[in-house]
Amino acid sequence: MSGRPGFAARLAAHALVYGAAVSMAVPLAWMVITSLKTDAEALGHGAGWLPASPRWENYARAWASAELGRFYVNSLVVAGVTTALGVAHNALAGFAFAWLPFRGRGVMFGLALATMMLPAQVSFIFAYILAQRLGYVDSLAGLIVPFLASGFGIYFMREAAAGVPRALIDSGRVDGMGPLELFWNVVAPNVRPALAALAIITFVNSWNAFFWPLVLVDSRRHNTLPLAIAELSAAIYVRSWPERMAAGTILTLPLVAVFLVFQRAIVRGMASAGLKEA
């Protein structure tokens, strides 16, 4: 009898998790299925929920109509550079806050955390003024530079670096390692899951960014994929619902693939960032 409440609780928890997963998967499935329909089927004139005959040409039409190839390259460049440099900056800053004593460390770390409490729209005002003075308006550099460090990334990597055993840090210092050598040879190998998790989070956020590119970019030449999809969804270039859904699928599938491949790294990274030496 004593085991039944535990079993019921586990069953309810699993049902809740799987129910939430299904509710999130249904819109994605609907988008993919609609992308393979004809215009008549997408408007509800078909025989059923599934297309009578999949129309893969909708993807080719969406790709060509909205020039998604150019915007795909822009998104890859912005997301890739932001991820590589952002993870490096956040990791080094987190290591410094965790293990390097310097004057004002507590105040500076508090200021970094305070940036997490500001609405993104507020910070974008100052970022736009800075980008304008640096000549980064309507450029890919302007989409990258403001996100090379973040309060969340610094905090996340600081917690991960703080979990490295002090004995390893002290051993490295005894061997004569400088700060960069200490980070590269001692800290980085021990926080790889956290680095991988931060890289995935940074890539997804950069890939999905919409508001900042909308504010900064004036010409279509520097549009990223979310801006192109938004224009396509507004029927500026394409009026076909299946082609719009095909474009949405093109935008979404890389993120789904990244998550499916690296989901274990995300879980390990989140867990390791919360563990500290007793």
Q: pLDDT, tens digit, for every residue of 103-132?
A: 999 999 999 999 888 887 788 888 899 889
Q: What average pLDDT score do residues 235-247 get?
A: 74
All structural domains of the chain: 52-273 (1.10.3720.10)
Residue 125 to residue 129: CA distance in whole angstroms: 6
Q: Flag whether pLDDT at 247 surpasses 60.
A: yes
Beta strands in 54-210 (DSSP E): none
Q: What average pLDDT score do residues 76-100 get?
A: 95
Q: Flag whether pLDDT at 273 surpasses 60.
A: no
Q: Look at residue 49 in the predicted model and tell me its pLDDT.
A: 79
Residue 263 to residue 233: CA distance in whole angstroms: 30
Bigger pLDDT: 24 vs 178: 178
Percent of the chain with pLDDT over 90: 40
Bigger pLDDT: 270 vs 89: 89
Q: Look at residue 278 in the predicted model and tell me its pLDDT.
A: 41
- Burial zone of 101 (CB within 10 Å; 0-12 exposed, 13-18 middle, 19+ buried): exposed
Q: Look at residue 269 in the predicted model and tell me its pLDDT.
A: 62
Q: Look at residue 268 in the predicted model and tell me its pLDDT.
A: 67
Bigger pLDDT: 241 vs 199: 199
Q: What average pLDDT score do residues 148-164 get?
A: 93
Q: What average pLDDT score do residues 186-204 get?
A: 91
Q: Look at residue 10 in the predicted model and tell me its pLDDT.
A: 83
Residue 28 C-alpha from the chain's centroid: 18
Q: Flag whether pLDDT at 22 surpasses 50.
A: yes
- Return the structure tokens found at 145: 């530079």
Residue 3 C-alpha from the chain's centroid: 41
Q: What average pLDDT score do residues 47-54 get?
A: 78
Q: Flag whether pLDDT at 66 surpasses 90.
A: no
pLDDT, the chain, mean:
85
Q: What average pLDDT score do residues 184-194 get?
A: 92
Q: What average pLDDT score do residues 51-75 get?
A: 85
Q: What average pLDDT score do residues 268-275 get?
A: 58
**What is the 8-class DSSP label of residue 176?**
T
Max mean pLDDT among 12-21, 145-154, 247-256 falls in 145-154
